[in-house]
Each structure stands twice: as structure tokens, then as C-alpha cells.
Amino acid sequence: NVEDFLEDWQLHGNAGYRQLDFKLELLQKEERFVYEYLDYNPAGIGRLTDRTGLSVPILSDILDQLCDKGFAREVVPNYYVKIS
């Protein structure tokens, strides 16, 4: 029933959110800033520079760091998606 589902979600399902919050704490301030602008739909580097105000070289370095840490993925050249 619904009550059992909600109780189970509180006990088990919510742990995934706490784990993600913990993982985000491991990111540098700049990485977390850029991560917040990523989505599950691919975003091009041009769009991300417009949204973040960062230069292409700085943004590219941060995106590489996010990819290396498993928070983002480059799906086609210069297009990135959020992971997790």
C-alpha cells in the first residue's frame, strides 16, 4: 500500500539523495558552480560559457575535472551532460 511504500522510501530511497549531497561536498567550489548548470540534456560549451560567465579555457578545465570525477560526461565533442 501507499503507506508502506512511503515508509520504505524514507528508510531506503532517501539514502541516494544523502549520498549525492555528500559527493557534491567533495567538489571544489568552481566545480560545484559549473555542475549546477549542467542538465541531463546535452549542453554545448558555448551555452555553458554564456550561462556561467566563465571563459572557454577555464570552463573546459572544470568540465574535464567533473568528467574525471564522474559527475559529467562529454556525449559528443564539446557537449556535456550531468551524471547522477
Q: Which of 75, 40, 43 is nearest to 59 (CA)?
A: 43
User: Residue type for 62, please?
Assistant: I
Average pLDDT over residues 59-69: 95
CA 51 to chain centre: 15
Query: What is the pTM for the complete model shown?
Result: 0.72
The pLDDT score that the predictor gives to residue 5 is: 59
Contact 30, 1 (CB under 8 A): no
Average pLDDT over residues 65-78: 94
Contact 24, 55 (CB under 8 A): no
Bridge partners, 74 (sequence order): 80
Q: Cite the beta strand spans of the chain per DSSP E.
A: 43-44, 72-76, 79-82
